[in-house]
Amino acid sequence: MPGPEAKTSEVSGSDPHDRLRERLFDSRTLSLNLAMALSDEDQVVQAMDDASPTKWHLAHTTWFYEAFVLREHLPGYEVFSERFEYCFNSYYEAKGDRHPRASRGLLTRPTAEEVRQYRAHVDAALMRLMSHEAALTGSVMELVELGINHEQQHQELLLTDVLSLFALQPLRPAYQQPALRSVATADSMATRFISYEGGIHGVGHDGSGFSYDNEGPRHDVLIHPFRLAERCVTNRDYLAFIESGAYGDPLVWLADGWTTVRERGWTAPGYWERVDGGWHQMTLNGLLPLELDAPVSHVSYYEADAFARFAGKRLPTEFEWEHASAGVAVEGSTLGSGALRPRAAATVGASTPVQMFGDVWEWTASAYLPYHGYRAPVGAVGEYNGKFMCSQHVLRGASCVTPDGHSRRTYRNFFYPAQRWQFMGLRLAEDA
């Protein structure tokens, strides 16, 4: 997920310092609460190169505050352990050498208990800082705001990485026991498309409130008339793609996608399994029968693009998606819902699209590139976004494990086209 530069935060409430302090420690508590369902053994293991152990997420988000806030802005701060700089730095070359990402699961030391002690040490220091109002300059408050949003990103990653781990376990453990679900909804009907006029439209963050640097500057783009599906593509829709033999048909795939499908042996979305002749999917609620009317999830950009070709449609651009979201509330089935997996659309036939924020991140046709006028921030804090603006694609919205309030209309998530361990889905578009 995107990382770094914060713009000025406009926090609500009677006292901005109090509100920021409350949000800071709420976010710190949530990370620990998400880890409570896991054993210490669960928290050490790394399922694949893209994922990280829970223990590492808990430590890295703590290191971030230590490296960027406390070392520089809390006089007299004592570092918990100089060894942790190497272990828990992620991408920040300016901060020095770091442990290889693919080998994070080999870090049996420090232990999970030591990481919890590390968090307590840093939290105590953050409390001292946040209680010293004179030290809370605008730049410090921006760094704390950035740290909150950074930790929220890792809360989502923590859960998706747990799913990648549990999916490899022979016991197929459940992170959380599933709630009862209805089997089908009216969403099994044909998808309706909503029309949008073309024209010159402003896109990107307007500078009010927090945003990452990759969301701006705001600028005008030309959008041609288009139609956008009212809901995400469902498992039922995608099953027709599978049953058509599309995974064996090179004509619906981009060249790199076709190569990836053959090399990795893909025949279905991530975590789909055949059990007693029927499709199941591994979820954070364990291995469950496929919920046909829920949005399809864990599909790569290559699979999303191939399905769109199969359906005679296309993926929307990120600018079309943002323009269509203008009349939609920035809320939905996110982490606070407790579902932990995509849910079928509650309504159809609305005048605006549903499921735009929550359930699954939605692939767009847009390459992850800088906006006109973008300049990468100077220094280590701004190192993340700019240097990754190559060979990736943009996703919009939010997922079922995105912390509540974390996303925005202008939020640009981004991943490589072959990645699919996140809650990634799609919505169709077509020219008008």
Q: Please choose, from the candidates 352, 1, 321, 369, the residue with its C-alpha nearest in 3D space to the C-alpha of residue 160.
A: 1
Query: Does 100 map to a domain?
Result: yes
Q: What is the pLDDT of residues 243-289, one digit of tens each?
A: 999 999 999 999 999 999 999 999 999 999 999 999 999 999 999 99
**Do residues 416 and 341 share a domain?**
yes
Look at 17-26, 109-118, 177-186, 231-240 and tell me which has the smallest mean pLDDT. 177-186
For residue 183, what pLDDT is reported?
A: 45
Tokens 């990370």 -> residue: 31
136 pLDDT above the threshold of 80: yes
414 pLDDT above the threshold of 70: yes
Q: What is the pLDDT of residues 71-118, one digit of tens each?
A: 999 999 999 999 999 999 998 888 889 999 999 999 999 999 999 999
Average pLDDT over residues 384-405: 93
Q: What is the pLDDT of residues 30-58, one digit of tens each?
A: 999 999 999 999 999 999 999 999 999 99
Beta bridge partners of 367: 393
For residue 382, what pLDDT is reported?
A: 67
Query: Does 345 map to a domain?
Result: yes
Domain of 309: which CATH number?
A: 3.90.1580.10
For residue 11, what pLDDT is reported?
A: 41
More confident residue, 380 or 236: 236
Total count of domains within the chain: 2
For residue 347, what pLDDT is reported?
A: 73
End of a domain among 136, 166, 196?
A: 166
**Do residues 263 and 398 share a domain?**
yes
**Do residues 350 and 217 share a domain?**
yes
186 pLDDT above the threshold of 60: no
**Domain range spanning residue 124?**
16-166
Q: Is 340 left (phi over 0), alpha (psi -120 to 50) or beta?
A: left
**Do residues 147 and 196 share a domain?**
no
Q: What is the mean pLDDT of the chain?
A: 92
Residue 372 Cα distances to 232, 317, 326, 364, 369, angstroms: 30, 16, 21, 19, 9
**Do residues 217 and 341 share a domain?**
yes
For residue 181, what pLDDT is reported?
A: 60
Half-sphere exposure of 293 (CA within 13 A, CB side): 16
What six digits make up the tokens of 403? 């912390």
Residue 300 Cα distances to 4, 166, 258, 297, 394, angstroms: 24, 20, 12, 9, 12
For residue 133, what pLDDT is reported?
A: 83
For residue 187, what pLDDT is reported?
A: 45
311 close to 430: Cβ distance less than 8 angstroms: no
Distance of alpha carbon 294 from alpha carbon 234, whole angstroms: 5
Distance of alpha carbon 198 from alpha carbon 79, whole angstroms: 55
Query: Does 358 map to a domain?
Result: yes
Query: Does 272 map to a domain?
Result: yes
Query: Does 11 map to a domain?
Result: no
Distance of alpha carbon 337 from alpha carbon 402, whole angstroms: 10
**Do residues 208 and 103 share a domain?**
no
Query: Does 145 map to a domain?
Result: yes
**Do residues 315 and 404 share a domain?**
yes
More confident residue, 119 or 134: 119
